[in-house]
Structure 1
């Protein structure tokens, strides 16, 4: 082999590059820990520059991070007693900034293929160049021309818009990450008013332009919770039900006061037959004495009568007090139901928001996979043109690129579905499309141990309080049923006056007082049957209380363990992303040098895409587990129900 030949010289340089990379790998040593998978321990002389683990193009030096020391500290201490790493903020923001920039959609589609050309070259990068590229956020890349017929996701026919239209249109909000103490408070920055739906619940669109999503708004998590609490229909119905129960309570309390009834009647009696008889008598009896004629002519009468009656139930056999107590418990139960719906609404809105963040990250990961597949296709074609590769390798690379494009299309569809689900739970207008403005990062810490968390959930959950109230309501129903066979004492007072305007007697009046006692000795067993029914309902409420208590403990423990698992996985999956990035780089070097296969490159790309997905899933899973834990404990941060039991 002569070194003067251009192809041989290139092969020699590639082999030297591969040999240098293998030598640089020697200072790594594997360390095992009982609580996590093996991690890479950097050599003392290695660099400590941090890079985005989700963006390709990292060199070997940039993989030697000081995070191993941080990971060991996480493993030694309790996983829920330490603060979370803040590195993920920059990692995810760099990823989203790379794949979801603000270029117009047409420019994005045109320039996406240019990103494929700007992949790292196979020649080693010295430390000074690496430091400069890392500090600027974009490593030095060779301007090797890409093949003209490489099909990028932007060039492939698709019904989806450009990636820039799938990303938040505003910069990420600067809200601090919510913790268990402030995650449920009202946001300082309210949501825009143009996102609310119409106030008419019966209004529905009849034209296509009325459902066209021409309003795109990026919102924060706190704004999403605010919109959900404002527009949730179930919460509005629960508030109406509370007003109904409050009215029923006022009606029940009215039995504590006596009733006062008044009646007034004015009448004038004059009939045609009476007038006719008077006329006949007057005509036929002109000779009658005057003292007999006057009564015959005065058959018409004018009367006024009034009545005032006071009634009070002195004793009702316990029915009145039981009705009032039952109405009070129903009001408390309605308030607790509002609390249950509000907590569930917060949970649903937060969960949908995290799901949208996950789909945004999956789109970015799919775009990175397309870039990696395009780089592999470019390398395969260059090797084929140089006579060092085969057509089979090119076909494999083209198929892998097509598969990556399909995954990107599915990720975009999932992103759109997640946006619609978020809009549905928030109840925004028909023309609104929502995007996530918050960065993907850990939502906070949970500082309570498991046993204290379980006890706090028992104290805070409104569902348990509702079952206790249901027991008391059924108890009052038994009192109401038994009052039907108990004596009842009523007091009545009556005053009546009457005035006849046709005589000289004037006004006459009178009054009366009465006390009435009624006692039903036998009702066919109806009262006892209703009482037994109430007792059995009390037993059912007690059983439901025990079931709810056990379910609450299970939910708390499940969310708690998932929180620990996802927190540990964040550190391990971050390391795995860097490992697979390095494995992909070495696989490409081997393939370009002619000592590796295209299958190795494709497998390395697939492993890297899976590692990136697991890393994002660990973050999203951690946030969702924390959200579930907050829901299953509820009433944070004040830990107070509407009605606190002694």
Structure 2
């Protein structure tokens, strides 16, 4: 009996020492009071993971904390959010009122220090050596900086801007038909002729007659199309509508680039969180393995417990390896959206926090989306373009509407070798052209344009329905993820308390190592779910902003 009590006392003391060391380690590396609630769940990387690639933004999950403090802190946060005025949007996700996407980019980028994030100015650059694509710059970026770089460097956005400039040049080309055309032709000729007489069969040349003539010719033609059957006005209006269509496409691409850059940034934050969670699992599994080995050495554990702990540690290392791979992929995906330089690797600098709130009701959001989305106006513009195509088909060069042209010509022909003077001529011509029959070609072109108008009407209805679906989908996801934040936050506190009790039971000899392992896994999963809920909430808010577009200022981007 005495031996049994001695062994129990030794085991309890040993386990208490292990638990005390673990608690001290957690308290030493816990986050400061200035961090966000999600950041307080993360700890710096341990030196035992130096063999893994360096990740400056990786933090570890806290192993244990006082449940009463956590509940009190959660209640304080909830109370503070209820009493404070709701924010419409976070400054990190939506910029203030902007006159153009370029202005927003320049405003943010002016605040940044000189860096090598911008890509090479040569779009045809083709790296041929490994060192040309080696990532040597590890650049932390905030969400505002990501949006600014995307609006400045994204290739698709640059292509859309060039398309707008091209359409403006085409409008100038069509407006040239409003003015008469003036054409000048002139020539100066010097003719030399020679005639020989004689018996050419015998090679006798009797005489040679030579003559020279110098003539100057000048013609000036003024031509103006008085009436073109409506083709000229239709071409000009079509070019104007084409400019508007490409401006709307530029706005759509700008909103999409902003959405993709923001979403990819959240995905990178999620990948960072998964790495941190995987690291915490590795630390928990390592601690469990050490406990099992010490218990086996003290004769209080079995070899089976050690083998099981080793298996759990191997599985945690595998999960960490996969998380690091996904993190690298997320970084490269964000770099591709921003079109940064070949040597740059981006790192998320912002903490995982809620980006903001949405103050509009579902019905107000749907109406606002109908008002703001460029896709709807694009279909209306395409309908107007089809209307102008119909006018062009009826009154163009191959149309059946009469055309009236005016021509004025002045010219002279002067033989400079004589003194007779120049031969001057004037010509004025008014010409009426009317194609009476073209085999139905003009009417066929008009009917084709009408069918394109019908297609634009149908596509408008489809876009309207799609926009409503996108708004409702993002809105419902936003509500669900907002509720999940509260429930997962409470779940983290519950799992922390469960882990604390499981360790106390194990130390007292009334619990098992399996209970501790299961409690650790539940806590790690709860922390991961909490961070996922915040990130998914931000993604839903970003998707809702994209579905509405140009919120909260309700202004389309003004292109330069």
Aligned to 1:354: 266
Aligned to 1:94: 40
Map 1:126-525 → 2, pairs under 5 A: 177-178=91-92, 180=94, 182=96, 185-186=104-105, 187=108, 189-190=111-112, 192-273=114-195, 300-483=212-395, 484-525=399-440
Residue 299 and residue 364 in structure 1: after superposition, are their counterparts in 2 closer, same or farther (change >3 A)? Answer: closer
CA deviation profile, 1:500-551 (whole Å, cap 9, x unmatched): 3333332342312221101001000000001111111111111111111101
> 2: CA distance between counterparts of 1:14 and 1:423?
50
**Root-mean-square deviation (Å):** 3.6
Residue 303 and residue 13 in structure 1: after superposition, are their counterparts in 2 closer, same or farther (change >3 A)? Answer: closer
> 1: CA distance between counterparts of 2:387 and 2:197?
70
Residue 375 and residue 102 in structure 1: after superposition, are their counterparts in 2 closer, same or farther (change >3 A)? Answer: closer
Q: Of residues 525, 540, 544 in structure 2, which corresponds to 1:625?
A: 540
Q: Structure 2: where are the runs of 5+ without partners? A: 17-24, 55-59, 74-89, 199-204
- Normalised by the length of structure 1, the TM-score is 0.72
Q: 1:190 Cα shift?
A: 3.3
Residue 588 and residue 276 in structure 1: after superposition, are their counterparts in 2 closer, same or farther (change >3 A)? Answer: farther
Q: 1:266 Cα shift?
A: 2.3
SS of the aligned residue for 2:127 comes to: coil
Q: 1:384 Cα shift?
A: 3.2
- Normalised by the length of structure 2, the TM-score is 0.82
> 1: CA distance between counterparts of 2:338 and 2:421?
75
Aligned residues of 2:41 and 2:527 also touching (Cα < 8 A): no
Identify which range, 516-525 or 583-592, moves more after superposition. Answer: 583-592
Aligned residues of 1:458 and 1:549 also touching (Cα < 8 A): yes
Aligned residues of 1:467 and 1:541 also touching (Cα < 8 A): yes
Aligned residues of 2:64 and 2:496 also touching (Cα < 8 A): no
Aligned to 1:576: 491
Aligned to 1:613: 528
> 2: CA distance between counterparts of 1:395 and 1:104?
22
SS of the aligned residue for 1:489 comes to: strand
Identify which range, 528-537 or 206-215, moves more after superposition. Answer: 206-215
Q: Does 2:444 match 1:563? A: no
Aligned to 1:603: 518
Residue 515 and residue 119 in structure 1: after superposition, are their counterparts in 2 closer, same or farther (change >3 A)? Answer: closer
Aligned residues of 2:118 and 2:340 also touching (Cα < 8 A): yes
Aligned residues of 1:379 and 1:592 also touching (Cα < 8 A): no
SS of the aligned residue for 2:438 comes to: coil
> 1: CA distance between counterparts of 2:438 and 2:26?
85
Q: 1:553 Cα shift?
A: 0.6
Aligned residues of 1:373 and 1:400 also touching (Cα < 8 A): yes
SS of the aligned residue for 2:220 comes to: strand
SS of the aligned residue for 2:188 comes to: strand
> 2: CA distance between counterparts of 1:104 and 1:372?
13
Q: 1:223 Cα shift?
A: 1.3
> 1: CA distance between counterparts of 2:186 and 2:359?
73
Aligned residues of 1:567 and 1:622 also touching (Cα < 8 A): yes
Q: Of residues 515, 521, 536 in structure 1, which corresponds to 2:451?
A: 536
Aligned residues of 2:331 and 2:347 also touching (Cα < 8 A): yes
SS of the aligned residue for 1:640 comes to: coil
Aligned to 2:85: none
> 1: CA distance between counterparts of 2:270 and 2:206?
112
SS of the aligned residue for 1:353 comes to: helix
> 1: CA distance between counterparts of 2:388 and 2:148?
38
Q: 1:194 Cα shift?
A: 0.7
SS of the aligned residue for 1:91 comes to: coil
SS of the aligned residue for 2:116 comes to: helix
Return the index of the structure with the highest Cα Rg. 1
SS of the aligned residue for 2:240 comes to: helix
Q: 1:497 Cα shift?
A: 2.2
Q: Structure 1: where are the runs of 5+ without partners? A: 17-54, 63-86, 110-114, 135-175, 278-282, 286-295
SS of the aligned residue for 2:37 comes to: helix
Residue 477 and residue 284 in structure 1: after superposition, are their counterparts in 2 closer, same or farther (change >3 A)? Answer: same
Aligned residues of 2:11 and 2:300 also touching (Cα < 8 A): no
> 1: CA distance between counterparts of 2:173 and 2:154?
30
Aligned residues of 2:64 and 2:500 also touching (Cα < 8 A): no
SS of the aligned residue for 1:448 comes to: coil
